[in-house]
Amino acid sequence: MADASYDVVVIGGGHNALITSCYLAANGLSVAVFERSHELGGGTCSEELPLPGFVSNQCSHSTRFYSHPAYADFNLAEKGLDLVFPEAGCGCGFPDGTYIVTYPTWPVVDKMTGKTEFSAENAEKTFKSIARISERDAETCRFIFEKFRTKWLPAIVETQYSPPTPWGVKDAVERLMDDPESGFDPVYAVMTVEQLARDLFESVEMQCFFMRRQSTQMGTYGEDVIGPHGALRNLATVLSVAASSITIGGSHSIAHALQKALSDQGGKFFVHHEVDKVLVENGTAKGIRLVDGTEIEAKKMVISGVDPTQTIARFIGPEYVSPKLLRRAANIKYDRGQLHWANVAMHELPKYTADDYDPDFILCANKTLIIKDTDYHASKWKAEIWLDGMAKYLALVVWEDTRWAPMKAPPGKHNAMAEDYAPPARFLTEKQWLELKVK
């Protein structure tokens, strides 16, 4: 006999599981979430780092969460989720002072609902900034924005909020490639990041900017094929189609608001509750067992918000899974795009050479600081990282939250997050990692 019983039992309290739980609870099901950690949220976590009084995020940092339907459906803005929107989007600065500034093309016009509206003014500002470097690249961006508005955005939204299509049925993004008016050339689906960069842009600046931001978006490198979804999304991000936002109080405020929404719908959650097994009877999931042996019955379903490897190999077990699925789960690699992630405490905000030329550069939500060398970003950067642990030329992306959210640091102080790439942990010995730390 089970120790407790719910319609739906959810393993892991990451923000995706929380959103699912909120919708199920809102539709009348009794839902309980079991989370191994001390708080809900998973990757949307924040801690007091690197010094007392500084709030830093360790995973999800910059967010476009306002665009998720759950934001409005559960009134998360009223449940304490407060976002702030930098005036400019992604910026890119080079050592010689050249720079690119992009501006949100669909800025948020209503913070309570997350409603966005197309801003022709911001789009023009982005074209102007790029045209200083290359008229042709600015025209490419104009073309991309037009196609994004009319064709790409509806396809992205449809695939994002629909179940995967059955075998042989194209999803909305795949259908774009059949539409000659879509502007999305089918060959983009098989191009590497470097090929896309060189095909789309003529300037070294835009090529390097696109490639480095692609790493941030998907953890991939110049030689990777990112497919149609990756290409669409990265172009949209580099050009700041959607406004980036900073979560006041840290990313875990997203989880806190979802947690409140779940409680308001009658859902339950349990932290420090690690799940060990899904209980299966006659091929159907009937509940879970925690590591302490407690058994929980699921009257309608068990949902896992945990990675597929653990879900398949540990919770369900090989006896209930086909060899093909087991093989595929085992083939998932989690250590290809590793990050050096630095949460920095500062007495004052940094100054950039580009600021001398354009005061808007400092208003960029994030700044990509790289050298101007397409070949370096396409291949040598990764080669140096994987061989030596760190590249000769850092390729930083920097977020300075306290420019807009001063409460994330003690009065008069600042924090920032800086990201570069790292090799898989197993490539270096413990001694080599410690040497790198000192460097």
Ligand X SMILES: Cc1cc2nc3c(=O)[nH]c(=O)nc-3n(C[C@H](O)[C@H](O)[C@H](O)COP(=O)(O)OP(=O)(O)OC[C@H]3O[C@@H](n4cnc5c(N)ncnc54)[C@H](O)[C@@H]3O)c2cc1C
Tell me how far apart the alpha carbons of residues 352 and 416 are, in angstroms, rounded to a whole number. Answer: 14
Q: Which amino acid is at 105?
A: T
Count residues binding ligand X (CB under 6 A).
Answer: 26
Is position 12 an interface residue for ligand X (rule: CB under 6 A)?
Answer: yes
CB of 23 to ligand X, least distance (A): 14
Site for ligand X in 62-101 (CB under 6 A): 62-63
Is position 11 an interface residue for ligand X (rule: CB under 6 A)?
Answer: yes
Q: What's the full length of the chain, in residues?
A: 439
Contact residue for ligand X among 341, 357, 404, 433 (CB under 6 A): 341
Is position 219 an interface residue for ligand X (rule: CB under 6 A)?
Answer: no
Is position 235 an interface residue for ligand X (rule: CB under 6 A)?
Answer: no
Is position 15 an interface residue for ligand X (rule: CB under 6 A)?
Answer: yes
Six-digit token pair at 78?
């009223």
- Nearest to ligand X of 11, 208 (CB atom): 11
Neighbour count for residue 281 (Cβ, 10 Å): 8
Tell me how far apart the alpha carbons of residues 281 and 80 are, in angstroms, rounded to a whole number. Answer: 42
Stretch that binds ligand X, among 37-45, 160-168, 195-203, 232-240 (CB under 6 A): 37-45
Stretch that binds ligand X, among 29-37, 78-86, 231-239, 429-437 (CB under 6 A): 29-37
Tell me how far apart the alpha carbons of residues 308 and 298 are, in angstroms, rounded to a whole number. Answer: 20
**Contact flags string 307-336 toward ligand X, x per CB under 6 A:** ---x--------------------------
Tell me how far apart the alpha carbons of residues 188 and 46 are, in angstroms, rounded to a whole number. Answer: 37
- Nearest to ligand X of 341, 404 (CB atom): 341
Is position 285 an interface residue for ligand X (rule: CB under 6 A)?
Answer: no
Is position 305 an interface residue for ligand X (rule: CB under 6 A)?
Answer: yes
Tell me how far apart the alpha carbons of residues 422 and 439 are, in angstroms, rounded to a whole number. Answer: 14
Tell me how far apart the alpha carbons of residues 308 and 424 are, in angstroms, rounded to a whole number. Answer: 20
Is position 35 an interface residue for ligand X (rule: CB under 6 A)?
Answer: yes
Tell me how far apart the alpha carbons of residues 91 and 99 are, in angstroms, rounded to a whole number. Answer: 7
Six-digit token pair at 33?
């979430």
CA distance from start to end of the chain: 57
- Nearest to ligand X of 41, 205 (CB atom): 41
Is position 43 an interface residue for ligand X (rule: CB under 6 A)?
Answer: yes
DSSP classification of residue 377? I
Tell me how far apart the alpha carbons of residues 46 and 253 are, in angstroms, rounded to a whole number. Answer: 8
CA angle 103/106/107 to nearest 5° reads 75
CB of 343 to ligand X, least distance (A): 11
**Contact flags string 244-283 toward ligand X, x per CB under 6 A:** ------------------------------xx--------
Is position 192 an interface residue for ligand X (rule: CB under 6 A)?
Answer: no
| CA 294 to chain CA mean position, Å | 34
Contact residue for ligand X among 10, 22, 34, 256 (CB under 6 A): 34
- Nearest to ligand X of 74, 188 (CB atom): 74
Is position 44 an interface residue for ligand X (rule: CB under 6 A)?
Answer: yes
CB of 162 to ligand X, least distance (A): 18
Query: Residue 75: CB partners within 8 Å, gap ≥ 6?
Result: 112, 261
Three-state SS string across 284-304, please?
A: EEEEEEECCCCEEEEEEEEEE
Contact residue for ligand X among 2, 23, 30, 59 (CB under 6 A): 59
CB of 275 to ligand X, least distance (A): 4
| Rg of the Cα atoms in the chain | 23
- Nearest to ligand X of 191, 296 (CB atom): 296
CB of 279 to ligand X, least distance (A): 14
Contact residue for ligand X among 6, 9, 14, 105 (CB under 6 A): 14
CB of 45 to ligand X, least distance (A): 8
CB of 135 to ligand X, least distance (A): 33
Q: Which amino acid is at 214?
A: Q
Residue with tokens 């349990």, as numbered in its chain = 270
Is position 298 an interface residue for ligand X (rule: CB under 6 A)?
Answer: no
Tell me the residue ranges of DSSP E strands in 358-413. Answer: 364-369, 396-399
Structural contact between residues 390 and 422, judged by C-beta atoms closer than 8 angstroms: yes
- Nearest to ligand X of 374, 402 (CB atom): 402
- Residue 396, classed as helix, strand or coil, is strand
Q: Using CB under 6 A, list all residues that contact ligand X.
A: 11-17, 34-37, 42-44, 59-63, 274-275, 305-306, 310, 339, 341
